[in-house]
Amino acid sequence: MRAALRDLPPVDALAAQVDAPRALAVAAARAVLAERRAELIRGAEGDADLAARARAWAADAERPRLRRVLNATGVIVHTNLGRAPLAAAAREAVTRAAEGYGNLELDLATGARGSRHDHVAGLLCELTGAEAALAVNNCAGAVLLAAAALADRTPPAREVVVSRGQLVEIGGGFRVPDVIAQAGARLVEVGTTNRTRRADYEAAIGPHTAAILRAHPSNFRQLGFVQEVEIEELCELEVPVIDDVGSGVLADELETLREEPSVRRSVRAGAALVCFSGDKLLGGPQAGLMVGRAEAVAAARRHPLARALRLDKLGLAALEATLRLYRDPEQARREVPVLAMLTADEATLRTRAERLAAAIGPGAAIVPAVARVGGGALPLLELAGPAVAVALPGLSPDDLAARLRAADPPVVGRIEEGRLLLDPRTLADDELPLVARALA
């Protein structure tokens, strides 16, 4: 072992055999030598082609880490795959905004400094009926900012009242009690895990109450012996209400989304601030949107956290383009990919499945399957429709899934009942040939 370790080439000698920029070649050489030393210490025998390893390491390092993936899982709002794909109009808007400088914070009419919030605030008010609006970088940030702004606005009113049944944790360890604490407020719990009544809120409201927070349970549901207070009743209590409605439903007319809380309903009820996501059921970029009463939104805009949470120009460009599509509900259903996937009919899905199966050839079978919304939205909803099950001789589903993830672009399916399924609901028509090529 000692002799083998002594025989390892110097870093510079190995790097010289890698056709790559100097810094990358050196990094590749160091990584491969460290890997080989560990192998030798573990007792590995035989020669290793270190130069080939280093070249492969460098080639892999030169590939972008963030890559396009073909989503064949059937999960529409897939958090691990970037949630909602953008509409064509939003992608084009991002390209335009990235081409050079822009009027991010410049009022072109007056030449004076403008506000980045104004690019989407008017659209949000138009679409929701709110008095004012604000966009930040995600919904968790919007809830944090809302609680901090209302708690800071009326000292010593530092208490935020929340039902025990809504003290939830969602993905990434985001916990409502922690958010309240980080906002500098004191949490006041009311009701029980499964039942909270109006009287519970009324008993908790006092001179130190800054707001009531209603938190959408997002990725789970309570069934059976449950009770909660609707937004209209909460807004009658004469205390500012922060309503975190989660996924951001603006397509109220879609039957599929009837169980998700409506942004417009909360605005009509009189909530001080309504917070929701831009990248889930709304179908836009990652963003946290806040709409509501003018004085509450103004307090949020003035708060120091607003700058820390602000949305960049590319996100604003994509968000504005997405919101413009919602001016025409029919256009939104056609062009916002999330809505198009949710409303895809049986004939469309079957045709897409047949095209994919034909391109794959022998071994592909069309079987009934169930897709899901994902992203913490509608956890009990199942979207029935055909899917393509790919079963190739000599390959286990895990092996096949690994090979597809190594394709360019990678293809991600789901394993169900011992088979790898590729669901056409989350594949666009122009992606089918790419999937077939990966499977060839």
Residue 274: the pLDDT is 97
Domain that holds residue 94: 88-334
Model confidence at 278, pLDDT cuts 50, 70, 90, reads very high
Q: Is the peptide bond before 409 cis (omega within 30 degrees of 0)?
A: yes
Q: CATH code at 159? A: 3.40.640.10
Residue 93: the pLDDT is 98
Same domain as 405, residue 291: no
Average pLDDT over residues 182-204: 92
Question: pLDDT digits over 387-430, tens only?
Answer: 666 776 667 899 999 999 999 999 999 888 888 889 889 999 89
Residue 271: the pLDDT is 97
Same domain as 359, residue 231: no
Q: HSE of 432 in the Cβ direction (CA atoms, 13 Å)?
A: 19
Question: pLDDT digits over 56-70, tens only?
Answer: 999 999 999 999 999
334, 358, 379 - which closes a domain: 334
Same domain as 194, residue 131: yes
Of 88 and 366, the one with more pLDDT: 88
Residue 69: the pLDDT is 96
As a whole-number percent, the residues of the chain with pLDDT over 90 amount to 64
Same domain as 211, residue 120: yes
Task: List Cβ neighbours of 57 (8 Å cut-off, separation of 6 or more).
Answer: 28, 31, 32
Average pLDDT over residues 119-134: 97
Same domain as 320, residue 288: yes
Residue 97: the pLDDT is 96
Asked if the model's pLDDT at residue 384 lies above 90, the reply is no
Residue 99: the pLDDT is 95
Average pLDDT over residues 275-304: 95
Residue 175: the pLDDT is 86
Average pLDDT over residues 381-391: 65
Average pLDDT over residues 347-370: 83
Residue 94: the pLDDT is 98
Task: List Cβ neighbours of 361 (8 Å cut-off, separation of 6 or more).
Answer: none
Asked if the model's pLDDT at residue 273 lies above 90, the reply is yes
Average pLDDT over residues 340-345: 89
Mean pLDDT of the chain: 90
Average pLDDT over residues 293-306: 96
Average pLDDT over residues 63-91: 93
Same domain as 312, residue 327: yes
Instruction: Answer whether 338's CB lies under 8 Å from 344's CB.
Output: no
Global confidence as pTM: 0.89
Same domain as 353, residue 328: no
Asked if the model's pLDDT at residue 345 lies above 80, the reply is yes
Same domain as 131, residue 210: yes
Same domain as 316, residue 344: no
Residue 246: the pLDDT is 87
As a whole-number percent, the residues of the chain with pLDDT over 70 amount to 93
Question: pLDDT digits over 147-175, tens only?
Answer: 999 998 666 768 999 999 888 887 667 78
Query: HEC states along the chain?
Result: CHHHHHCCCCHHHHHCCCCCCHHHHHHHHHHHHHHHHHHHHCCCCCCCCHHHHHHHHHHHHHCCCCCCCEECCCECCEHHHCECCCCHHHHHHHHHHHCCCCCCCECCCCCCECCCCHHHHHHHHHHHCCCEEEEECCHHHHHHHHHHHHHHHCCCCCEEEEEHHHCCEEHHHEEHHHHHHHCCCEEEEECCCCECCHHHHHHHCCCCEEEEEEECCCCCCCCCCCECCCHHHHHCCCCCEEEEEECCECCCCCHHHCCCCEHHHHHHHCCCEEEEECCCCCCCCCCEEEEECHHHHHHHHHCCHHHHCECCHHHHHHHHHHHHHCCCHHHHHHHCHHHHHHCCCHHHHHHHHHHHHHHHCCCEEEEEEEEECECCECCCCCEEEEEEEECCCCCCHHHHHHHHHCCCCCEECEEECCEEEECHHHCCHHHHHHHHHHHC
Task: List Cβ neighbours of 15 (8 Å cut-off, separation of 6 or more).
Answer: 22, 25, 26, 28, 29, 54
Same domain as 350, residue 313: no
Same domain as 400, residue 313: no
Q: Structural domain tally of the chain?
A: 3
Q: CATH code at 413? A: 3.90.1150.180
Residue 259: the pLDDT is 79
Asked if the model's pLDDT at residue 378 lies above 60, the reply is no
Residue 86: the pLDDT is 96
- CA-wise closest residue to 288 among 303, 272, 271, 273: 273
Same domain as 56, residue 75: no
For residues 284 and 322, give the distance between their C-alpha atoms in angstroms, rounded to a whole number.
6
Residue 338: the pLDDT is 93
